[in-house]
Structure formats: structure tokens, C-alpha cells
Amino acid sequence: MNTLRSLHWPEYLMEAAGLGIFMVSAGTFGTLLEYPPSPVRQALPNGFLRLVLMGMFMGLTAIGIFYSPWGKRSGAHINPAVTLTFYRLGKVKRTDAVFYMIFQCFGGLAGVLLVKVLLGHAFTDMPVRYVVTVPQQGNIRAFGVEILIAFCMMTMVLHTTNRPRWARYTSIIAGSMVWLYVVTTGPVSGFGMNPARTLASAVPANVWTAFWIYLLAPVTGMLTAADVYRRMNRVPTVKCAKMHHHNNQPCIFNCGYAQHEPTAVQDLQ
């Protein structure tokens, strides 16, 4: 019982809510932009323009989650590959990492099911079909693209969050990269970069096409980025596991900022 009480339930729930909100946004805007009878879809016949708008909406959603009070407290990983990478770097305790990943998966699934209830067949039928992530131009190309974008995202996060001048902009850059990735990699891999996000759509849709890509590629890309970062820095300076640390929210991680910031609360019990 004491072990259960020592777990960081608020942060786990915030991670679930974060990916849940992301999936609600993806499902809602995906339906508005791609479901044929949708008035938005009919008003925007240009497919590339719709793709750009989809990227913009998802990028803004990500930024909103990162800067939200919940995101500031949990670190706004909302991605098992991110959590696993920070665990590998010694910033997240094993128990927290496991529960973060579990809650991310359930939160994403809850978000998809909520959109299903609200939008019905407009969301579940083709071409939207639960906004599933599947390769668009072959498995090998999709796998390569997914590794690349995961590597670039984590490389950016590690370099910016650990530099005071850039740390405050990490979330904006990450959201902008989501926008770019939706536009550039959506037509190739469907833009996954998040095993929990792909799982959330695959379960209710029962679509498991090349699921291994979206499970392995993000983890491989981000862990590789972490290894490269450590090799590039003789003394690795990974300070924390948050996307946005400069705030007054508690920090449950092995936080290298806490000793310098009196407002940061380090809870490592």
C-alpha cells in the first residue's frame, strides 16, 4: 500500500490526458479536413493545403499541451519513446517510466474512443478511419523516415533543454517540427513518431499494418539520438526530463535544475 501511495499518480494522469487531448485533436481535425461530406473538406479541395492545415493544428495542439499547467508538471512526454529515452539517460525512475508509458497508451486510446462517440462513422469510416498510422510509400521508406524524424526531434530536445538560452523555446520548436513532420512525412509514413499514438488508433480500428515500424522506429531513433548526444559531450549535461522546465510546477525527475531554482520542487521519494 505504501508503494502505491508513493507513486506519482497526478503526473501519470496528466500524461494520459496529454496524449488523450492530442488524439482528440487529431481525430477531430482529421475528420473535418478529410471526411468527404464535411463542409470544411468541401471548401478546401486542395489536398496539400489540407495537409498544411492539419500540420498546423497538430503543432499548435502539441504546443498547447507542452505549455499547459499539466504539461509543465508532468514534463509533457506524451510519448513512450521520449520517456524511455530519458529513463536511459538516468532522468526518470524505472517505476515512473513504466507508469508513464502505460498511462500514455490508455490516454491515447481514451481520446480516440471519445472522438468515436462524438463523431461516429464520420471518424470510423474511410478515409479517416480512426486516423490510423500506416505506410503510404512502402515499409522500408516509412521505417527510415520514422527513425529520422524521431532522431531529429530528440536531438533538438536534448540540445535546447540543456542550454539556458534555448530551453524556453523547446516546446515551440517541437510544435513547429510536428507541423513540418505532418506535411513532409505524412504522405510517406503517415507520421507516427509515437508508439502510443499509433496503438491508440490501431486498437479500435483493428488495423495493424506494419505496426512494428511505429513501435521500433521512434524508440530506435530517440535512443540513438541520446547516445550521439552523450558522445558529442564529454561531460553530458542532461539536466531534466521536462519539455518545459522553467516554471513553478513540482518536478518528479532526477532534476539538475532544482538545486539552482528555488521554485522547482524535487520529489524523488
Secondary structure of residue 258 in the 3-state scheme: coil
pLDDT tens across the length of the chain (269 residues): 545 666 899 999 999 999 999 999 999 999 999 999 999 999 999 999 999 999 999 999 999 999 999 999 999 999 999 999 999 999 999 999 999 999 999 999 999 999 999 999 999 999 999 999 999 999 999 999 999 999 999 999 999 998 888 888 999 999 999 999 999 999 999 999 999 999 999 999 999 999 999 999 999 999 999 999 998 876 567 889 998 877 788 899 988 776 444 443 333 33
Predicted local confidence at residue 244, as pLDDT: 81
Q: Which amino acid belongs to residue 46?
A: N
Q: Show the beta-strand stretches assigned E in 69-148.
A: none
Rounded CA gap, 170 and 178, in Å? 12
Predicted local confidence at residue 52, as pLDDT: 98
**Strand-pair category, 250-251 with 265-266:** parallel
Phi, psi of 265 (to 5 degrees): -105, 115
CA neighbor of 67 nearest in space, from 18, 110, 105, 28: 18
SS3 sequence of 151-186: HHHHHHHHHHHCCHHHHCCHHHHHHHHHHHHHHHHH
Predicted local confidence at residue 258, as pLDDT: 62
Rounded CA gap, 71 and 77, in Å? 8
Q: Where are the alpha helices (DSSP H) in the chain?
A: 2-6, 9-34, 39-43, 47-67, 69-74, 80-88, 94-119, 121-124, 139-161, 164-167, 170-189, 195-205, 211-232
Predicted local confidence at residue 235, as pLDDT: 56
Predicted local confidence at residue 264, as pLDDT: 39
- Please tell me the pTM assigned to this model: 0.92
Q: Which residues are paired to 251 by β-bridges?
A: 266
Rounded CA gap, 140 and 216, in Å? 13
Sign of CA dihedral 118, 124, 125, 126: positive
CA neighbor of 91 nearest in space, from 37, 44, 157: 157
What the chain holds in terms of domains, given with CATH numbers, is 2-266 (1.20.1080.10)
